[in-house]
Structure 1
Amino acid sequence: MRPSRQGDESWTVASAKAKLSEVIERAQSAPQTITRNGKPSVVVVSAEEWQRKTARKGTLVEFLMESPLRGADLDLERQRDEPRDPDL
């Protein structure tokens, strides 16, 4: 059984089950989409690709320090309003 007609990167659930080893092998070089009822359901990627996509790219402090809003003189003073009445 070959991948679905959407291309070599797309498989139906049935074809992915039947050819799981091939899905895994192909996922080493390109993401493999598994469809359910004709719609994309999941994507199989290599462990290396997953690590690359989910790796933290710095700390929150670094992100904030590199923000284009840094030094924009934003008014960040907290309002001291009374709490809302939850019964309203």
Structure 2
Amino acid sequence: MTITTLSSRELNQDVTKAKKAANNGPVFITDRGKPAHVLLSIEEYQRLVGKKRSIVDALSMPGISDFEIDFPRSRELPRAADFE
């Protein structure tokens, strides 16, 4: 995997170069010398985000039990649903 860095100006001048580089790895696009965006091939993007999963699949991932979630508590009493 090759990482390419282009300035915004370079990207605007040669989009084809950036798209070709994204086939070999991520392309970091800088604004005023600081990384601002990343260009990825669609295959790499899909690999990173994975296929659409159900909530059951997401919650059954290995290591998920290591996360702590603190849900805010409400002092309000639950109320009946309004179906009108």
User: Which TM class, normalised by the smaller chain length?
Assistant: 0.5 to 0.7
- Percent identity between matched residues is 24
Residue ranges of structure 2 left out of the alignment (5+ in a row)? 67-72, 77-84
RCO comparison, higher one (Cα < 8 Å, 6+): 2
Residue ranges of structure 1 left out of the alignment (5+ in a row)? 1-7, 70-78, 84-88
1:1-88 equivalences in 2 (<5 Å): 9-56=4-51, 58-65=53-60, 67-68=64-65, 82-83=75-76
**1:64, CA displacement in angstroms?**
3.5
Q: CA RMSD in A?
A: 2.6
User: Bigger CA drift: 35-44 or 57-66?
Assistant: 57-66
Amino acid at match of 2:48: K
**1:27, CA displacement in angstroms?**
0.1
| Bigger Cα Rg | 1
